Amino acid sequence: MSLQRLAIVAALLAATTVAIPHGFSAFFDADACPSGWGELNAAQGRLIVSVTSPSVTGVTVNQPLLDQEDRSHAHGFSAVVSVPQKDIAAIGCCNNEGAHHGQYSINNNTASSTSGYPFSQLLLCTFQGHNDTAPVAYGTIGYFDPDVGGCPDNWNPMVDSNGRILIPGYEQGGSMQNGAAPLASGEDRQHHHNFSISFPTTDVSYVGAEGCCDSGPAAHEDLVVASTADSTSTDLPYVQLLTCVNQVPTFNHSFPADALTFSTISCPPGWDVVNEVSGRFLVALPVGGSPGASFGGDSIPSASTENPTHNHHISGSLTLPSVGVGLASGCCGNGYIGAGTYGFQGHTSDDSELLPYTMVPLCRNSLDSGRGSYLKKGTAARASLKK
């Protein structure tokens, strides 16, 4: 180790510690907040989006989640199906087996689908006292109650995560971000899906020949319904909270039992990474919710900045009206679409809402690792569901 690094370590070890500030908020692996702390009601059932300006803290988007709710959504869509023309040597009336060519509109909704994001729900508690004597390590990240007017002394706004969601990282430490643009204040991010579905049609023939001069019939072929579904959000709820980072150079870190704290660097001495929720989006425990429960998609892998995706089942029908042809059905005027109703079904493209996130270590006191853990129970329950 270089002399410079030794000097930094010595400074950290010798530095004066900073107390837990009023309004500091953290997740707990518990079903009730400890003495002197209270549940942050504004966050219940919501993701937390970090902001740096006190003027936009407390802003909420969408309705809170219920216990373990993997919220679903659907998209409207409209499409035009082109049915090509094919002439026949006849005049109109009175064989109505064939369909009329033209442009036909379809308006419908996709089936509902969930977002594909992985979630874990945990109790979020706020320190309600003033100048607690418990020390806080350098690099500790804190959410702050909306009533707090700004970052406390010796704390700086977490600028690089403004408009982003903090999610627990893995053992390697440090932070990573996905490529999604930060959320604007109050933004309910939109997304859309493309689709292209081919479906067969019936073939009819006439006792006649193809050609002039009845131009009403349609050529027999598989038809395609293709479009882009309407943009919408996944309806995931969040609350914006002022997020600050402790700048006091100390390794000392002391919190009530079962506290879980984010860090910009790595877990302080005596604290371990909370692996049970690595790569998952944390939801502040909903009213009446089960602490530590995980639901939704698979965890984002280690050293990855992927964006979870989803798709939607899509179905509908198209009715092709008949066209009168002055010929009987039979040989040898072939290759015309029959009139009637045709169903189609398939899936949209896989797409993501592109929620912006920063992956950083979530830390737990090593002494708490052996205690009864709601997170461990939630992890075991999730594993059993996959068997």
Q: Say how far apart CA 243 and CA 25 lie, in whole Å.
A: 9
Domain encompassing residue 135: 18-73+113-189+234-310+351-375
154 and 300 inside one domain = yes
Q: Is residue 7 part of a domain?
A: no
39 three-state secondary structure: strand
Same domain, 334 and 286: no
Residue 241 lies in a domain: yes
Helix count and strand count (H, E) for the chain? 2, 28
Q: Is residue 298 part of a domain?
A: yes
Q: Report if residue 336 sits inside a domain.
A: yes
Flag residues of the chain having pLDDT under 70.
Answer: 1-17, 91-92, 131-132, 172-173, 209-213, 326, 328, 330, 332, 369-372, 378-387
Residue 229, pLDDT score = 98
DSSP string, 291-313: TT-EEESPPPPTT------B--E
Q: Which two tokens stand for residue 51?
A: 């902001």
Retrieve residue 322's tokens: 């008949």
Per-residue model confidence (pLDDT) at position 63 = 99
- The answer to whether position 9 is within a domain reads no
- 70: Cα within 13 Å, side-chain hemisphere: 16
Residue 300 and residue 360 in one domain: yes
Asked if residue 380 is part of any domain, the answer here is no
Give yes or no: residues 36 and 58 share one domain.
yes
Give yes or no for a contact between 212 and 89, defined as CB atoms under 8 angstroms apart: yes
On whether both 129 and 218 belong to a single domain, the answer is no
- Same domain, residue pair 118 and 226: no
- The answer to whether residue 1 sits within a structural domain is no
Q: Are residues 159 and 172 part of one domain? A: yes
Residues 128 and 265 in one domain: yes
Residues 98 and 120 in one domain: no
- Which residues make beta-bridge pairs with 204? 336
Amino acid at 360: V
CB–CB of 339/203 below 8 Å?
no
Name the DSSP letter for residue 377: H
Taking the C-alpha atoms of residue 78 and residue 80, their distance in angstroms, rounded to an integer, is: 7
Asked whether residue 8 is assigned to any structural domain, the reply reads no
Q: Considering its fold, how many domains does the chain have in total?
A: 2
User: CB within 8 A of 380, min separation 6: which ones?
Assistant: none
Give yes or no: residues 176 and 125 share one domain.
yes
Residues 215 and 270 in one domain: no
Q: Is 342 in a helix, a strand, or coil? A: strand
Helix, coil or strand: residue 197 = strand
Q: Which of 231, 241, 67, 43 is nearest to 142 (CA)?
A: 241
180 and 320 share a domain? no
